[in-house]
Amino acid sequence: MFSTDRLTARLWEHTDAERAYDLYSRWEVAQWLGATPRALESPAEVPAMIDRWRGRSADPRYGVWALERRDTGAVVGSVMLLLLPDEDGSGNGEVEVGWHLHPDSWGHGYATEAARAALAKGFADGLTEIHAVVRPGNTRSAAVCHRLGMTPLGRTTRWYGDEFDAYLITRPAATANM
């Protein structure tokens, strides 16, 4: 999909199931995800989750991708570019960037690095603006948004039917004619 100096974003594979379960079964990660956060309760939930992610990656402009360290091959988490659903489940073409990292990969700059590359991919694919939605209290993700140069838009219930802090970044002028 795309790479940085330290990471490769690629499709999640079923061979990643053990690491995916280790990541998404942790409340310290899951508490920040989705409208109704829930940690995975069983490894049996992982294959369907990976299949959903692969389905959301059918259009190469969007997806939920595994983040793999280039030096070790270890999966550190996920990065995504996804269409945002409005409260009724539809959308109007707005896109979000997101990241979910395993706690053993926090504090290494991987989220910022991966999100920056995902933003570059989105802008190269023709997007003019990209949002981030952060659950209130998630100071780590809010800090990533700030490091990315995203503008805080305030609190909203516009997407996912729950309250989130919204951020926005627009395509830089240098890439506007790509």
The CA distance from 142 to 123, in Å, is 21
Query: pTM of the entire structure?
Result: 0.90
Structure tokens given for 22? 């280790």
Structure tokens given for 87? 């409260």
Instruction: Work out the percent of the chain whose per-residue pLDDT is above 70.
Output: 93
Structure tokens given for 77? 């988490």
The letter for the amino acid at 92 is N
Is residue 119 within 8 Å of 130, Cβ to Cβ? yes
Is residue 64 within 8 Å of 97, Cβ to Cβ? no
Helix or strand (DSSP H, E) at 11:
strand 7-11
Kindly report, residue by residue over 103-116, the tens digit of the pLDDT.
Answer: 999 999 999 999 99
* Residue 89 pLDDT class (50, 70, 90 cuts): low
Kindly report, residue by residue over 136-176, the tens digit of the pLDDT.
Answer: 999 999 999 999 999 999 999 888 878 899 999 998 865 55
Domain positions in the chain are: 2-175
- Higher confidence at residue 171 or residue 76? 76
Is residue 122 within 8 Å of 97, Cβ to Cβ? yes
Classify domain 2-175 by CATH architecture: 3-Layer(aba) Sandwich (3.40)
Query: Looking at residue 81, what is its pLDDT?
Result: 95
Most distant CA pair in the chain, distance: 47
CB atoms within 10 A of CB 31: 13
Query: Looking at residue 137, what is its pLDDT?
Result: 92
- Residue located via tokens 């690629």: 10
DSSP states of 34-54 as a string? SSS------GGGHHHHHHHHH
pLDDT of 178 higher than 50: no
pLDDT of 91 higher than 90: no
Is residue 45 within 8 Å of 25, Cβ to Cβ? no
Structure tokens given for 27? 């409340």
